[in-house]
Amino acid sequence: MSKLQLIIKREFIAKVRNKTFIMMTFLSPLLMVGMGVLIAFLTKQNEKDIKKIAYVDNSGLFSKEQFKDTKTVKYLDYTQLGIDETKNQVEKGHYYGVLSIPKIDSLEVLAKSIEFYSKESPGFSVIENIERNVNTRLRNLKMTKLGINLEKIKASKIKTDIKMFNFSGEESSKLINGIKIGVGTMAGYLLMMFVIIYGNSVMRSVIEEKTSRIIEVIVSSVKPFQLMLGKIIGNASAGLLQFAIWGILFLIISFVASSFLGVSLFDMQSAKMTPEQLEAMKEVASGNKMQLVLQEIFKLPLLKMFFLFIFYFLGGFMLYSSLYAAIGAAVDNETDTQQFMMPIILPLMLAMYVGAFTVINEPHGSVAVIFSHIPFTSPIVMLMRVPFGVSWWEIAISMALLLITFVAMVWLSAKIYRVGILMYGKKPSYKDLWKWIKYNG
């Protein structure tokens, strides 16, 4: 046991003293927040740029009421000038473009005959805004032409708001499903990134020791199983420390950016949202809704989720790290690792796919349940299922399978490790790896 502790300590200290590790630990949060602040700032600057659009309505069907100004678009009625004169003035002035609506009796033909002229290709949001205004007006005109009373249609609209309760009578919220999805997806994504980043770190560490021949001295006094396990735990500890520092620094830098630059976390996120999503966020932020959401969050099994997150986070990392270590021992340089990386990356991608498209729609469906028990996908899929409530017996089976598979994979990888670590100058194949696993010498 003392040898294992020495290896863990050696790996941990070697990792945290590395200049690149120290630099990225403190620079990464700064770069992430800086990028968010920059995006939010540029978005605000973009909103200040008012786009002037002139429209010429020869059909007589549109008015300023249909083309209402927005924060970024201002509509100007140039119908009296005519399309040719308007195009000349717009082309010479500081205008965004010209919308030409011809005089055509058929609404169906008119819908396909409207033209937009601009100096440069227009943005998607601008065209979408124009098309939405035109479609609304033409649809109303069509319904009026068919004898449909628009006032009655407006009066007939009813917004349904289904109240949700559990069988004990406690009120729930539709918004809580979105929170559960967000928590599960974030946990799965963090795990995948952790495995990829620090799994590669384990692999590079093995390759460096192999090429420097230090490993030949180490394996003479330590069993391959102990050496691999020590490397995995040491790198995992360093990675968790780095993640913890990132979280603390991210909050501090975000607070500073919010206080001194006037850019909040909401501004950073809203820069990536559509207008519909922003409206939904504002609705959630209203007093009653927010209070209900907070109540629902505290109803979640937060303590259970925390411990399961730690278990699957470490279990998934250690499982995949054993494979990364075996690959590092089998090759002489990182270039030769590419042929072995696909079998490692595929289960991670499959787990994210199942989580994103299956767990979200049916967290207790057969596909979600099966993949939450398969050890190579369970760390991600089960983390996504936990917020929706999973029985203890399912969790126990999944955890047991993950532990058994981890030990088995470390044992198999150690067999590859003990032979491959002393092999130089040869590019191994899958056939060679199988021979090393069967080797009993």
CATH number for the domain spanning 89: value is 3.40.190.10
> What tokens were used for 422?
């002393």
Residue 411: which residues within 8 A CB-CB, separation 6 or more? 225
120 shares a domain with 217: no
Q: Which residue, 219, 157, 206, 419, is CA-closest to 321?
A: 206
The CA–CA distances, whole Å, from 309 to 243, 306, 347, 362, 411 equal 14, 5, 19, 21, 25
- Say if residue 245 is exposed, middle or buried (CB neighbours under 10 Å; 0-12, 13-18, 19+): middle
What is the identity of the amino acid at 384?
A: M
Residue 53's DSSP bridge partners are: 75, 97
Residue 129: which residues within 8 A CB-CB, separation 6 or more? 70, 73
> What tokens were used for 216?
């030949």
What local confidence, expressed as pLDDT, does residue 404 receive? Answer: 92
312 shares a domain with 266: yes
254 shares a domain with 134: no
132 shares a domain with 78: yes
User: Which residue intervals of 54-174 are DSSP H helices?
Assistant: 83-92, 107-111, 124-145, 150-156
Residue 56's DSSP bridge partners are: 100
209 shares a domain with 138: no
Q: Domain for residue 128, yes or no?
A: yes
Q: How far apart are CA 155 and CA 304, in angstroms?
A: 48
- Tens-of-pLDDT digits for all 441 residues of the chain? 577 888 888 888 888 888 888 888 888 877 877 777 777 677 666 666 788 888 899 888 888 888 888 877 888 888 888 888 888 888 887 788 899 999 888 888 898 889 998 877 787 878 888 888 889 889 888 888 888 888 888 888 887 777 767 666 655 556 666 777 777 788 888 888 888 887 887 888 777 776 766 666 666 677 777 777 787 888 888 888 887 888 788 778 767 766 665 555 545 444 444 444 445 444 544 545 556 666 666 667 778 878 888 888 888 888 888 888 888 777 777 777 777 888 888 888 888 888 878 887 788 888 889 999 999 999 888 888 888 878 889 999 999 999 999 888 888 877 777 777 766 666 777 787 788 777 775
Q: Domain for residue 186, yes or no?
A: yes
For residues 56 and 79, the answer to whether their CB atoms sit within 8 Å is yes
Q: Domain for residue 112, yes or no?
A: yes
Domain tally for the chain? 2
> What tokens were used for 121?
């290709």
344 shares a domain with 303: yes
Q: Domain for residue 372, yes or no?
A: yes
- Say if residue 140 is exposed, middle or buried (CB neighbours under 10 Å; 0-12, 13-18, 19+): middle
118 shares a domain with 78: yes
| Residue with tokens 């983390």, as numbered in its chain | 383
User: Which residue intervals of 93-223 are DSSP H helices?
Assistant: 107-111, 124-145, 150-156, 175-212, 214-218
What is the identity of the amino acid at 348?
A: L
For residues 300 and 387, the answer to whether their CB atoms sit within 8 Å is yes
Q: How far apart are CA 370 and CA 376, in angstroms?
A: 11
In angstroms, what is the C-alpha Rg of the chain? 30
Q: How far apart are CA 91 and CA 73, in angstroms?
A: 17
Strands (E), 43-114: 51-57, 73-77, 97-101
**Residue-range definition of the domain harbouring residue 69:** 50-151
Q: Domain for residue 272, yes or no?
A: yes
295 shares a domain with 252: yes
355 shares a domain with 243: yes
What is the identity of the amino acid at 295?
A: Q
Cα dihedral value 176, 182, 187, 193, nearest 10: 180
270 shares a domain with 213: yes
133 shares a domain with 178: no
What is the identity of the amino acid at 187?
A: A
312 shares a domain with 208: yes
Q: Give the phi and the psi of residue 224 in degrees, each rounded to 5.
A: -55, -40
Residue 105: which residues within 8 A CB-CB, separation 6 or more? none
What local confidence, expressed as pLDDT, does residue 327 receive? Answer: 83
For residues 77 and 55, the answer to whether their CB atoms sit within 8 Å is yes
Q: Domain for residue 203, yes or no?
A: yes
- DSSP codes of every residue in 294-357: HHHHHHS-HHHHHHHHHHHHHHHHHHHHHHHHHHHHH-SSGGGGHHHHHHHHHHHHHHHHHIII
Q: Domain for residue 42, yes or no?
A: no
Q: How far apart are CA 441 and CA 5, in angstroms?
A: 27
Q: Domain for residue 163, yes or no?
A: no
Residue 74's DSSP bridge partners are: 52
Q: How far apart are CA 350 and CA 359, in angstroms?
A: 12
Q: Which residue, 405, 403, 436, is CA-closest to 419?
A: 436
The CA–CA distances, whole Å, from 289 to 158, 166, 174, 285 equal 20, 18, 10, 7
